[in-house]
Amino acid sequence: MSDIELVSATKSFGGWLKRYKHRSQVLNCEMIFAIYLPPAADENDVPLLWWLSGLTCTDENFMQKAGAQRTAAELGLAMVCPDTSPRGTDLPGEHDSYDFGSGAGFYVNATRAPWSQHYRMYDYVTDELPALLRDHFPLNGREAISGHSMGGHGALICALKNPGRYTSVSAFAPISHPMQCPWGEKALNGYLGDDQESWKAWDACELIKANGSSLALMVDQGNADNFYTDGQLQPEALSAACEEAGVPITLRMQPGYDHSYFFIASFIDDHLKYHFHHLTQ
């Protein structure tokens, strides 16, 4: 297991927001992640919420913009934010667009060269990084998962592909049906190739149709989100897949809200309390 090196530590609401770097064997590069440890972690092991961020984001966006630390501190909830893609690999074309390559790992395991050398974000967030966290931090083994946009897609597929792993799952404006939207089509084709049958393993709607879900889903979506109106997000397709499979879903359409962190900050406390309820059952 690789060692971790502290990058920064900032006191926040009695707890600590820390950033660490480490060498990832799965991604074959150096990675940075952020973790918030509430005051309760000084005395006891605490539950953990995973937050997966969206396109162009790093580990810092959520921790700096969501305003989640106050409630996490009150609840005694740790939060971890991985990065959104491998870094420093400099593959051909990796930095050419915002929605593929750097900052856009889509939480899949790439099978197409040259991306398969590094872009295995699914294995990183479900296997390698969790093992690293267990070795180094006071966590009690109870985990929930959430995310935004591309990270909402990531949270959904991680939960759906790992029944029993997480106590709960939620998402803000997730890319719900990537096989049927421009962002998803570009990413899945680029990372996996043109066999669309293989894409189904990375699409929340297709996973629910095939396997159902042991967890209820909670999704917030702003109705003034331009990516919603452009057809990138498709929460209605997710809701329809859940209805067909008999999977409970709470889809909250939030009037006037867009795709930004102002939207996330407005409702993050609801999500933290939702997850903490399930984490402590």
The residues annotated as belonging to the active site are: 149, 225, 259
Hunting for tokens 């939480």 — which residue is that? Answer: 107
